[in-house]
Amino acid sequence: MGSDVLIIGAGSAGSVIANRLSADPSRRVTVLEAGERVTDPEMRRPELWPFIHGRSYDWSYRTTPQPGLAGRSLDWARGRGPGGSSLVHAMAHMRGCRADFDRWVEATGDDRWSWDALLPAFIRSETFSGGASDVHGDAGPLPVLLPGPDLSSPLVLDYLAAWEALGVARIPDHSQGEMLGATPNSLTIRDGQRVTVSDVYLDPVLGRPNLTLLTGVTVHRLLFSDARVSGVAVTRDGQDEILEADEVILTGGSIGDPLLLMRSGVGDPVVLSAAGVDTLIESRQVGKNLHDHLLGAGNLYSSRIPVPASRLQLSESMTYLSKDGWERTTGEADIVVGCVVGPSASESFTAEAAHVLPGAGYTLLFGVTNPTSRGSLRISGSDIGDEPVIDPNYLDTAHDREMFRLALEHARMVGRSDELAHWRDAEVLPGPSVSTPDEADAFIARAAITHHHPVGTLAIGSADDAPVTPDLRFRGLDNLHVVDASVIPSITAGPVHAAVIAIAESFAARFGG
């Protein structure tokens, strides 16, 4: 079976690219996906997103024990099936701020990765509920809902008022180029249901005769000849075969892509040798630069009055703040505080959280937007069934620990505000016993959970050792491209999903989609 373009992964980036590149009827496009079509009705319900992890459409990865998290391992949900992680994520749609993309330009030396250069891709991708403007589109595939007071929880409306009373700016939304301030989260929800990227990009065009989606495909390794990918070894319908294509695009995400490359003999020779894999192409940074957002779960309160159930997806608002104070309203965000319409806590505090039933409490999440800790992932063997070794190296740097303490301070600050007084009964977590920096650090180590934003394992860069070039070609292979969160050199301030879609839109436009 041959194609002009072979896309490995039908997740968010893969769905975008399949749509755009197959618009040319002369181009044969094939998409490979490990998972099957998801029919679980609970996947569609926004308020259930934290509770569907671990099901058949989740890869259910797990990190190594983390010294910075009191020796805890974290579950890493990653979507498996058409739509990828848009099947299981929290649906928050935030582009990041200008300063985030300035770091991408610095890493690559290429202005194509600036905020201004990516803005047309962001606009092209969306239908924004607020209508078209200089920064928003109203004709793109992906619906983006900015909730108004009629949908937002009354708790969240008071939370936003509390920030305004403290002097924090109220901003229109998180996707204007600056993120410092308070606003409801924009969400990829339509008619009260989750919308996956496959729903709106891939599925509507599967009738094209030049586009083929193959599900339930196990991709074992890439095959090489003369600095090109000559084929892909897969198992399909129980049969082993080799698929060929002129161009191959990896869209399997920050975990799937580097693992496939390592199984194929591409990576750090030390890592590959330890896993019993011969090195065919040396690329020592494959699997390095792994980083992710953590959130403290959380600053938990019991409520004096009933907390109405969320009509959205529980985590309804994120407020981004500068470490320099309220007066700075532009530039890099340093910390974030979010409002969850219900009790939320890490597994370390099950007993404490059990005393706060749904409807009787709420949580302020808190975290670091631009962590400096870096980890890695690697294969443990040559087979796809061998468990990967995922070590994000959380809270390794003094910067991250300091910013996390600051984020907790700000969560407690808004939590004790007058505007939330009629909701607030008592602070359950961390509670009055946590007041010193050392006590805060110990609490954070047990409270922090992943925000599900792993990035950077095949980072783009201008340096010779960067795995991927600024034009998204894998360095050293003429016909292999990487287009997903793995190429992000440094994480955006908020959820990365919107940026991943823009990366894919930008690539497709330049490729000829």
Annotated active-site residue in 293, 410, 453, 481: 453
The answer to whether 122 and 175 have CB atoms below 8 angstroms apart is: yes
Kindly state the tokens that stand for 165.
């009373």
3-state secondary structure of 454: coil
DSSP state of 377: E
> Between the CA of residue 294 and those of 76, 204, 404, what are the distances in Å?
12, 35, 9
Give the closest residue to 160 by CA, choosing from 360, 331, 318: 318
CA angle 226, 232, 238 (to 5 degrees): 155
Q: Cis peptide before 298, with omega less than 30 degrees from 0?
A: yes
From the list 210, 147, 213, 208, the residue with the least C-alpha distance to 183 is: 147
Angle at CA of residue 234, ends 231 and 236, nearest 5°: 135
Q: How many residues does the chain have?
A: 513
Rounded-to-integer distance, Cα 82 and Cα 245, Å: 21
Whole-angstrom distance, CA of residue 266 vs CA of residue 129: 44
Distance CA 306, CA 316 (A): 17
- Residue 219 annotated as binding? yes
Beta strands in 348-457, from DSSP E residues, in sequence order? 361-368, 376-378, 389-391, 424-429, 448-450
Is 453 in the active site? Answer: yes
Would you name the residues annotated as active-site residues? 453
Which residues line the annotated binding site for FAD? 219
Which residues line the annotated binding site? 219
